[in-house]
Amino acid sequence: MLERSENDSQIEKIRETVLSIAPTDGAALDVFCQHWSENGLSDCRHCGSTNLQRNPGERVSVCDDCGKKNWVTSEKLLERASCIQAYLTAALIREAGLFISGSAFARLTGVQTSTAYNILRKFSIAVANQLPIDAQEVSGRLLRMIIAMRTRETPARMHPFTEQDLIDEELVLANSEHVMNGPNVVVEVPPAVDQDDFENSTQLVLAELSPDTGLTADAVSARTGIAVGIVTGSLFVLELNGKAHSILGGKYFLCVESAAEKFLHQDDSKLADSVKLMAKKYLSVIDEYLHRVGRKGLQHHLAAVWCALDRITWGSGSLMILSGIHPPVPYRQMRDYVSPPYLKIVIC
């Protein structure tokens, strides 16, 4: 990311560009429409035709083939949006890898502060929804320094970080219940089986299990060639260790690590240096531009930082296209959102 002064001066330049290429909301809509049309994102919603006619600045197009009308922003991130010029400014700022707070964005564009926040938030949500499945998950504890704004989730008369404490308590509680309800029989390794062999067998049995499809001991035995008696012993041990679970009928499944277990296993000191370094980068951007934020919406702020840091994924044109692909984000969805127990960041 650029130094703050360079970031801010480039944002000023983007605003000047927007004012010259799109002096009105209608002209800004034309810029969006042009991007969507170039990327095959403006079909007629009645017949799928791409032959749509629209007068400059108008929100309605008419299909040449079926003759029906289309709202051009319908089912897109910009559905029912006013202040399209501000949306264009926001998209170009994010695409350029720059960062801006809601209040600074309101001053820049002259829109109301709440509108400014909502525009940036909509783009952040759309970006957050593109987070890869294998994004790194970190505890909010790693980001403690910036979690200091009250939200609807903060208990009365408590510090905003209490939200994180409550999440952690719940995770520990969920885990202790899991342990208490778990099986407490002591399983003896079948006699006459060498301990090392047994451990090897257990690993082979574990490799056969999946979280979705259950397997009986007989099926595992057939697949691995290991005697059923040993497979049964292995499955017992795996179940005891919380790595497998069974259902009535004796089918065994692989346990996916619960959030609580992950929390208990996550020790910041054990996180890879690359993850800690990356978390620090996210933290420093939020610290610099937003100062302090609430735990509740933190994941969306992190997504906005991802956009600024990951210049390969979020380069030129990316946000303009995303605004044509992503469904509308109703206000209710923004208001009720609560960041997950584990926050996702992308190592980039």
CB of 66 or CB of 187, closer to Zn ion: 66
**Least Å from the CB of residue 49 to Zn ion:** 4
Integer Rg of the chain from CA:
26
If one asks whether residue 47 binds Zn ion (CB under 5 A), the answer comes out as: yes
Cα–Cα nearest to 57, from 84, 93, 79: 84
Site string for Zn ion, 54-73 (x = CB under 5 A): ---------x-xx-------
* Complex with Zn ion: residue 63 or 119, whichever CB lies closer: 63
Minimum distance of Zn ion from residue 48's CB (angstroms) = 7
What is the phi/psi pair of residue 299, to 5°? -60, -35
What is the Cα–Cα distance from 47 to 50, expressed in whole angstroms? 9
Nearer to Zn ion, 47 or 277 (CB): 47
49 lines the binding site for Zn ion (CB under 5 A): yes
Pairing outcome for strands 342-345 and 136-139:
antiparallel
Answer yes or no whether residue 135 interacts with Zn ion by CB under 5 A. no
Q: Supply the minimum distance, in Å, between the C-beta of residue 322 and Zn ion.
A: 25
Nearest distance, CB of residue 53 and Zn ion, angstroms: 11
Q: CA 166, CA 162: separation in Å to the nearest integer? A: 6
Nearest distance from C-beta of residue 50 to Zn ion, angstroms:
9
Residue 33 in contact with Zn ion, rule: CB under 5 A: no
Does 52 engage in binding with Zn ion (CB under 5 A)? Answer: no
Tell the smallest beta-carbon distance from residue 211 to Zn ion (Å).
44
Residue among 148, 147, 89, 78 at smallest CA distance from 116: 89
By CB under 5 A, which span of 41-49, 226-234, 241-249, 278-286 interacts with Zn ion? 41-49
Q: Which is nearer to Zn ion, 66 or 259 (CB)?
A: 66
| Encoded tokens for 253 | 């499944």
Report the nearest approach of Zn ion to the CB of residue 42 (Å).
Answer: 11
Would the CA dihedral through 76, 77, 83, 87 be positive or negative? negative
Q: What is the DSSP letter of 56?
A: T
Residue found under tokens 């951007």: 285
Query: Which residues touch 212 (CB under 8 Å, ≥6 apart)?
Result: 253
| CA dist., res. 290 & res. 293, Å (int) | 7
Of 49 and 284, nearer to Zn ion (C-beta) is: 49
Q: For the chain, what is the total number of helices (H) and then of strands (E)?
A: 14, 7
Nearer to Zn ion, 49 or 224 (CB): 49
Q: Which residues lie near Zn ion (CB under 5 A)?
A: 44, 46-47, 49, 63, 65-66
